[in-house]
Amino acid sequence: MKIAVIGLGSVGRGVLETLAGKNIGLSVTGIADSKSGYIDPSGIDIKKVLMQKKKTGRCGDAGVTAMDVVREADYDILVEVSPTNATDGEPALSYMKTAIKRKKHVVTSNKGPIALAYKELKALAKKKGVALRHEATVAGAVPVFHTVEQGLAGNDIRAVFGVLNGTCNYILTRMAEEGLTYEQALLEAREMGYAEADPTYDVKGIDAAIKLVILANTIWGNGVTLDDVDRTGIDRLTPEAIRLAEEGDCTIRLIAEADKSSGLLRVSPRIIRKNHPLVVEGSLNAISIETDLAKEITLIGKGAGSIETASAIIGDLLFIAERYGRRP
C-alpha cells in the first residue's frame, strides 16, 4: 500500500527510519513538514528525504503545503503525525477529514484531534468505508487498543487504570530515588525529550487526561471530553510527601482511572504500594485493564520516543494492509 506522511518531527522521523530500515511493503508517495511538501507517485527515496530534512530543515518544496499532499498525493493511508493541538485539533483535524473524504485510511499519533473529535471522525470513516487507527495516541509503543479490540474481543471492559504520562512518572521516580526537587526532576525530563512542548500539559495532568478521554471514548464510545475528567497534577507535590509515602513502603504515581459503570474519570497523584503493577520506573507507561473474562491485564512499555511510537504507527499500518488488502 502507499502512504503519505504529514509531520516530520520525532514520530514522523521514526516512521520513515523504520520504513527505510525494514522491508514492510509500504511505499511513501507524499510527505510534508510544516514548511514544505513533496509528492512522487512512483515512491519517494526515504533516506534522501531524511538527509535533506537534516541538512535544510525541509523535506520538500516550499511551494507544496501539507494540505496539498493530503489533497493531491496518490496514497491509501494518511499517516498524520504533525504536532498536536489540544484546543481545536487543527490543522491535523482538517487533514484527517480531507483524507477520509477522499476514502483514504488514517493512522495517527495526534492526540488533539482524537480527543476532541473521535466520534465525528469515526462516523465519517465508517461512512466512507475506511479505517481510522490511533494506537500511538495513548502510551506510545504499548499496544493498548490492539489488545482491547483484538486480544480482549468478547470481554466486557469494566475499568482502566494507567500511568499515562512518562514525564510525570520520570519526575516522581527521580524525586523518590535521588531526592531531587520537583524543579530539578522536571528539567531532566525536559532534557530527555519526554515532556510536551509546553510541560504544564504534563505536570498538571492534562496530557494524561487527554489520553484517558481517548481511552474511554475508544473503549466505550461514551463521548466524554476533557472537562469530564476530575484532574489534579503533580506540580504541587513536595519531596516531603514522597518521603512520607516511601516510609510506608509505598510511593506516589500519577494515576488515570476510568470506570464504566460509575462513569468515573480521574487523574490524580495516588499513594500506592511499591509492589503494585502500576508502579513502573522512569518514563515507562503502564495500563491495567479490568474485564469480566480475562480479569486484569497489565501492559507496560515505553510511552514516548521516536522509534517506540513509530512501532504503534507501523502496527496500525500493517493492520490496515492486512484487513483492506495490499495493492501492488
Distance CA 310, CA 308 (A): 5
260 as an active site residue: the answer is no
Quick count: other Cβ atoms within 10 Å of Cβ 180? 17
**CA angle, residues 174, 180, 183, in degrees to nearest 5:** 100
Contact pick of 304, 312, 320, 321 for ligand HSE (by CB under 6 A): 304
* Shortest separation between residue 109's beta carbon and ligand HSE, angstroms: 8
Distance CA 303, CA 285 (A): 5
Q: Which residue among 211, 260, 274, 295 is the active-site one?
A: 211
* Shortest separation between residue 129's beta carbon and ligand HSE, angstroms: 30
Q: Residue 205, interface with ligand HSE (CB under 6 A)?
A: no
CB within 8 A of 57, min separation 6: which ones? 35
**Footprint (CB under 6 A) of ligand HSE, residues 207-246:** 207
Binding segment for ligand HSE among 162-170, 237-245, 253-261, 293-301 (CB under 6 A)?
A: 162-170
**Footprint (CB under 6 A) of ligand HSE, residues 127-146:** 140
Contact pick of 4, 114, 195, 214 for ligand HSE (by CB under 6 A): 195
Binding segment for ligand HSE among 43-51, 141-149, 161-169, 288-296 (CB under 6 A)?
A: 161-169
Distance CA 100, CA 129 (A): 9
* Shortest separation between residue 79's beta carbon and ligand HSE, angstroms: 17
Contact between residue 323 and residue 89 where contact means Cβ atoms under 8 Å apart: no
Q: Residue 196, interface with ligand HSE (CB under 6 A)?
A: yes
Tell me, by CB under 6 A, how many residues bind ligand HSE. Answer: 11
In the bound state with ligand HSE, the residue whose beta carbon lies nearer, of 56 and 200, is 200
Q: Residue 167, interface with ligand HSE (CB under 6 A)?
A: yes
Strand ordering across the sheet containing 105-108: 37-39, 27-32, 2-6, 77-80, 105-108, 132-133
Element (H, E) at 272: strand 265-273
**How far are the Cα atoms of 7, 9, 122, 190 from residue 138, in angstroms, in the given order?**
18, 18, 17, 19
Instruction: Enumerate binding residues for ligand HSE (CB under 6 A).
Output: 140, 165-167, 194-196, 202, 207, 303-304
**Which residues are designated catalytic?**
211
